[in-house]
Amino acid sequence: MPRVPPAARAAKDADGGRPARPPERCAVVDLGAVRHNVRVIRTIAEPARVMAVVKADAYGHGAVPVARAAIEAGATWLGVAHIGEALALRAEGIEAPVLAWLHTSAGDFSAAVGAGIDLGCSGWELRRIAEAARGCGRPARVHLKIDTGLGRNGAPPDRWEAVLAEATGYQDRGLLRIVGVFSHLALADEPHRPGTDAQLGVFRDAVALAEDAGCELEVRHIANSPAALSRPDSHFDLVRTGLSLYGLSPFRDRSSADLGLRPAMTLRVLVSHCKRVPAGQGVGYGLTYRTSEESVLGLIPLGYADGIPRTSRGGPVRIAGTTYRVAGGVAMDQTVVDLGPSTDSTAMAGHEAVIFGTGEDGGPTADDWARAAGTINYEIVTRISPRVPRVHINSEPDARPHAGSGSG
Ligand SMILES: *Cc1c(COP(=O)(O)O)cnc(C)c1O
């Protein structure tokens, strides 16, 4: 795993001691921040345990290194959407309990059972899972999902007893073990709305019915990040946290710092080119931006193919301690910032630009980009594309954090 710090000023070659050349573009992922965030969530959730949700390549942060860091910091479970994501963790030698919860009729339930992966189950999967277990010669571990109101996965409440009857039937035949009951919340990021109370009520009833039906549950779980952080009555045995693990806030009116979390990802790139242009210079496809005076334009070699939202307007970019705004649209590979008339264009070319990061020194954050793009911070980090290399820093649990926490 590369352990190249984000900037030449901090980087040293392993042997030569000379500054390593920083990659021209990368997403620096601070695993020290991930471990810190896990510890924060653990403290809040105790005595409930923490499932680190590492689906979608750990929201773009790199599933395997994040999973390892989260386990080191005391998360006891891993959560993913697809069986394929869970198998990829197992293939890297990760042995922690893993739950996969989103399946289709083409899902490889045999591979999952064979690899000791716990399966979320809404009901329709039961027969397939039982058949896979028979083929593997070992019982499948199943978490039954009740739809308490989100309207996506999960058995509707009026089907719950039928699902329990079918599942306990397979359990009695030794084909599966019902180890969990779970659900997912629709409104936990909007604590002022009352729907969460109703969902928790339906969940408690579903758990009671499962226990009455003879299920010896290891874990009951419904809390995502916003619920873990704001609703202790939702914690039950396990909180399934994704966003907060990455140091981002699920709440509109509370920042990462307000929650004691540290954003783990810094997206940075070298300024490709700078040039002085006259007043009235159009910028980018459609010429939606024109300089109001003579100015310097900086070319940022990241675009929507890298995951910068094309729908964003005026997103922030930090260069040499100043935050500039994107001028015009975001193209496939590149974006332009207006650096103003007094910028020295030769000094800025080749300089590091931070698109978003920890926000510590007033720099831009994923939250700022979410606002600029009319979306949520979840999407900003998750959509950073594979064209952007991930550089993981502070991989070792006892590593001293780099100055600036890798914000470069
Ligand atoms: C993605 C997901 C989570 C994690 O949600 P966060 O808000 O990122 O903490 C938890 N549970 C399920 C079922 C999910 O799909």
| Cis before 47 (ω within 30) | yes
Pick the catalytic residue: 145, 170, 275, 285? Answer: 285
The pLDDT score that the predictor gives to residue 18 is 52
| Residue, of 250 and 14, whose pLDDT is higher | 250
pLDDT of residue 3: 40
Whether residue 351 sits in one domain with residue 312: yes
Q: How many CB atoms lie within 10 A of CB 12?
A: 13
**pLDDT given at position 19:** 54
Same domain, 237 and 200: yes
In a domain, 256, yes or no: no
Ligand 1 centroid–CA 41 distance in Å is 14
pLDDT at 149: 95
- Domain assignment present for residue 408? The answer is no
CA distance 59 to 130: 31
Whether residue 196 is predicted with pLDDT greater than 90 in this model: the reply is yes
Same domain (yes/no): 241, 271: no
The total number of residues written for the chain in this structure = 408
If you measure from the C-alpha of residue 311 to the centroid of ligand 1, how many angstroms do you get, rounded to a whole number?
A: 25
Q: For residues 225 and 293, state if they share a domain.
A: no
Establish if 400 belongs to a structural domain: no
- Which of these three, 246, 273, 305, is where a domain ends? 246
For range 365-393, the mean pLDDT: 98
Q: Is 275 considered catalytic here? A: no
Protein residues with CB under 6 Å of any ligand 1 atom: 53, 55, 101, 184, 224-225, 240-244, 250
Q: Give the rounded percent of residues in the chain with a pLDDT score beyond 70.
A: 92
* Ligand 1 atom 3 nearest Cα: 224
Same domain, residue pair 50 and 172: yes
Q: Provide the pLDDT for residue 382.
A: 98
Are 211 and 142 contained in the same domain? yes
Asked whether residue 239 falls in the same domain as residue 276, the answer is no
Amino acid 191: pLDDT: 86
Per the annotation, the verdict on 55 as an active-site residue is yes
Q: What integer pLDDT is reported at residue 339 of this predicted model? A: 97
For residue 97, tell me if it sits in a domain.
yes
- Report CA(97)–ligand 1 centroid distance (Å): 17
In this structure, the answer to whether residues 81 and 202 fall within a common structural domain is: yes
Ligand 1 center–CA 244 separation, angstroms: 10
Does a structural domain hold residue 339? yes
Contact (Cβ atoms closer than 8 angstroms) between residue 36 and residue 408: no
- Closest ligand 1 atom number to CA of residue 243: 8
Ligand 1 atom closest to Cα of residue 241? 9
For residues 238 and 277, state if they share a domain.
Answer: no
Question: Which pLDDT score is estimated for 406?
Answer: 39
Average pLDDT over all residues of the chain: 93
Residues 270 and 379 grouped into a single domain? yes
Q: Is residue 207 part of a domain?
A: yes
pLDDT at residue 389 greater than cutoff 70: yes
CA of 240 to the centre of ligand 1 (A): 6
**Last-in-domain residue among 198, 215, 246:** 246
pTM exceeding the 0.85 threshold for the entire prediction: yes
> For position 347, what pLDDT does the model report?
87
Are residues 65 and 184 both part of a single domain? yes
CA of 242 relative to ligand 1 center, distance in Å: 6
User: Does residue 254 fall inside a structural domain?
Assistant: no
Pick from 246, 281, 301: which residue ends a domain?
Answer: 246
For residue 81, give the ligand 1 atom closest to its CA.
15
Roughly what angle, to the nearest 10 degrees, separates helices 63-72 and 31-45? 50
Set 55, 170, 324, 378: catalytic member:
55
Give how far Cα 291 sits from Cα of 35, 285, 287, 326, 349, Å. 44, 15, 10, 12, 19
Cα 109 from Cα 104, distance rounded (Å): 10
Tell whether 203 is covered by a domain.
yes
User: Among 224, 236, 245, 256, which residue has the most ligand 1 atoms within 8 Å of its CB, making it the best to mutate?
Assistant: 224
Task: State the residue range of the domain holding 132.
Answer: 31-246
The CATH number for 171's domain is: 3.20.20.10
Query: pLDDT tens digits for 290-311?
Result: 999 999 999 999 999 999 999 9
CATH code, domain carrying 304: 2.40.37.10
Number of domains in the chain: 2
240 and 201 both lie in a single domain: yes
Whether 338 has a pLDDT exceeding 60, the answer reads yes
